[in-house]
Chain A
Amino acid sequence: EDQVTQSPEALRLQEGESSSLNCSYTVSGLRGLFWYRQDPGKGPEFLFTLYSAGEEKEKERLKATLTKKESFLHITAPKPEDSATYLCAVKIGNTPLVFGKGTRLSVIA
């Protein structure tokens, strides 16, 4: 059973059409939830860390939120340059990050 599940697998938006990506987790003892952006042929780029339920972080058009079971990455008025795969990962105890399979976002002009 996957510990980290991201949905949807792929999302196609028109420029300016706001939406949310979901990351749900089934682990206990969460030490942190991390969001990354990955462009094709590149390594993941760190976006946010969330440590406790109720926490929110913002960066430009992106806003990440965290509850006890899931995290959302809200994208407001996206632009074509926001097209990428968005990965979430959780840290449990001292183990390495556990990654979800990602959401492939395409923003069409």
Chain B
Amino acid sequence: GAVVSQHPSRVICKSGTSVKIECRSLDFQATTMFWYRQFPKQSLMLMATSNEGSKATYEQGVEKDKFLINHASLTLSTLTVTSAHPEDSSFYICSARIQGSNQPQHFGDGTRLSIL
């Protein structure tokens, strides 16, 4: 149980392209989802917290107009990297939590984004 599916697993695209990443909780409802970014050999950096039906809460230094988050249902959140540039290249990972704030977060397998 508690499976999180993230798609696509890898994206390579040209600078200026917008890229959408999907995160789905397959066997549970997730009122809260999280988006992380991870650089090589570094830990997870929280970008934003996404609550179903409301605006996402972004961490300090994360541009909300650059990284658009939509959490329209209890099983789906999307992250759109708008007008991506090479510095946006990274490993993006989503996470979802079963209702109940002390429950563990379950993670997707990440999306490797490469901007040429």
Given known A94-B101, A99-B43, contact A46–B106 (CB-CB < 8 A): yes
Interface size class of chain B, counting residues whose CB lies under 8 Å from the partner chain: 20 to 34
**Cα distance A31–B106 in the bound complex, in angstroms:** 17
Quick one: which of B1-35 are within 8 Å of A by CB?
2, 4, 6, 34
* Contact of A31 with B102 in the complex, beta carbons under 8 Å: yes
Size of the chain A interface, CB-CB below 8 angstroms = 22
A96 touches B106 (CB 8 A): no
Q: Which residues of chain B have C-beta atoms less than 8 A from A74's C-beta?
A: none
A100 to B41, CA, bound (A): 12
Docked pose: A51 CA to B95 CA in angstroms: 20
**A43 close to B42 (CB less than 8 A):** no
Q: Are A34 and B107 closer than 8 Å at their CB atoms? A: no
Q: Collect the chain A residues with CB atoms within 8 Å of residue B4's CB.
A: 43
CA separation between A39 and B94, bound complex, in Å? 16
A87 and B112: CB pair below 8 A? Answer: no
Q: Which residues of A contact B88 (CB under 8 A)?
A: none
- Of A96, A97, A104, the most chain B CB neighbours within 10 A belong to A96
* Complexed CA–CA distance, A97 and B91 (Å): 18
CB proximity of A34 to chain B, nearest CB, Å: 5
Q: B77 within 8 Å of A by Cβ?
A: no
Q: How far is the CA of A45 from the CA of B108 in the complex (A)?
A: 9
Q: Can you report 17 residue pairs joining A to B where beta carbons are below 8 Å apart?
A: A31-B101, A32-B104, A34-B104, A34-B105, A41-B112, A42-B109, A42-B110, A43-B4, A43-B107, A44-B44, A46-B104, A46-B105, A97-B46, A97-B105, A99-B43, A100-B43, A104-B41
